[in-house]
Amino acid sequence: MTARTLVASVAFAALTATAVSAQMDDGGNPMVGGAAMFPSKTIVENAMNSADHETLVAAVVQADLVDTLSGPGPFTVFAPTDAAFDRISDESLSQLMMDTHKDQLAKILACHVVATNAMSDAIAGMIADDGGAHPVPTVGGCTLTARMSGDSITLTDEQGRVANVTIADVRQSNGVIHVIDRVMLPAM
């Protein structure tokens, strides 16, 4: 199954879930990908509703991380959008989505997850306390560096690539999602 076919399959599931959830109250969370995000649902359940996170959901499925990210947490997930994944070549993304590269894909995804519930005000406080740059150790063994850019948080990966938090503080039953505009990579 190709990466694009897997994305299309997940997109269908997300559209089905969105039709059901559109009738519910969003509980004050920001909309993500045109969908309400419910604080009573898990990271995976909400991500499946976002039209902007179809590639991420497909990658989480391929890497066998659905059960982990549906677990009790708490987790902070820096969730790259489909546009962030579009910055990766189709060839590279297709290779990552192959069964033979499942471990590499899982490591990359785990570099977007922190084993705590960190809202943006707490992250901003840690950045200030650390003199403008706060190390963020991830469950994937990577360390991201959080900084402030005006009122927004940025993350720098181990390769020096910078992602902007475009939507912060999307509460989940098992943590929080911060939407980012770039895929974070570990040092190679």
Q: pLDDT tens for residues 43-57?
A: 999 999 999 999 999
> Could you tell me the pLDDT band of residue 7, with boundaries at 50, 70 and 90?
very low
User: What is the rounded CA–CA span in Å between residue 26 and residue 21?
Assistant: 9
The pLDDT value given to residue 27: 59
Half-sphere exposure of 20 (CA within 13 A, CB side): 10
Query: Does 56 fall in a domain?
Result: yes
User: What is the rounded CA–CA span in Å between residue 172 and residue 99?
Assistant: 29
* Residue 32 three-state SS: strand
Residue labelled with tokens 């694009």 = 4
Strands 162-172 and 143-149: unpaired
> Could you tell me the pLDDT band of residue 159, with boundaries at 50, 70 and 90?
very high
* Residue 158 three-state SS: coil
Domain that includes residue 45, residue range: 3-117+165-180
Query: Does 135 fall in a domain?
Result: no
Closest-CA residue to 97 (of 5, 160, 22, 19): 5
Query: Does 126 fall in a domain?
Result: no
pLDDT at 158 over 60: yes
- Tens digit of pLDDT for each residue in 160-181? 999 999 999 999 999 999 999 9
CATH code for the domain of 74:
2.30.180.10
pLDDT at 144 over 70: yes
Closest-CA residue to 178 (of 115, 120, 134, 126): 120
User: What is the rounded CA–CA span in Å between residue 142 and residue 107?
Assistant: 9
Closest-CA residue to 74 (of 104, 105, 26, 39): 39
Once rounded to an integer, what is the mean pLDDT over residues 59-81? 94
Query: Does 129 fall in a domain?
Result: no
For the chain, how many structural domains are there in total? 1
Query: Does 77 fall in a domain?
Result: yes
Strands 113-114 and 134-137: unpaired
Once rounded to an integer, what is the mean pLDDT over residues 72-98? 94
pLDDT at 135 over 50: yes
Q: Give the Å distances, CA to CA, from 65 to 21, 51, 61, 79, 156.
A: 23, 19, 6, 14, 23
The pLDDT value given to residue 121: 95
The pLDDT value given to residue 26: 45
Once rounded to an integer, what is the mean pLDDT over residues 98-103? 94
User: What is the rounded CA–CA span in Å between residue 170 and residue 180?
Assistant: 12
Q: Amino acid letter at 69?
A: L
Query: Does 132 fall in a domain?
Result: no
- Tens digit of pLDDT for each residue in 112-133? 999 999 999 999 999 999 999 9
Instruction: Say if residues 113 and 73 touch (Cβ distance below 8 Å).
Output: no
Q: Amino acid letter at 46?
A: N
Query: Does 41 fall in a domain?
Result: yes
Query: Does 43 fall in a domain?
Result: yes
The pLDDT value given to residue 81: 95
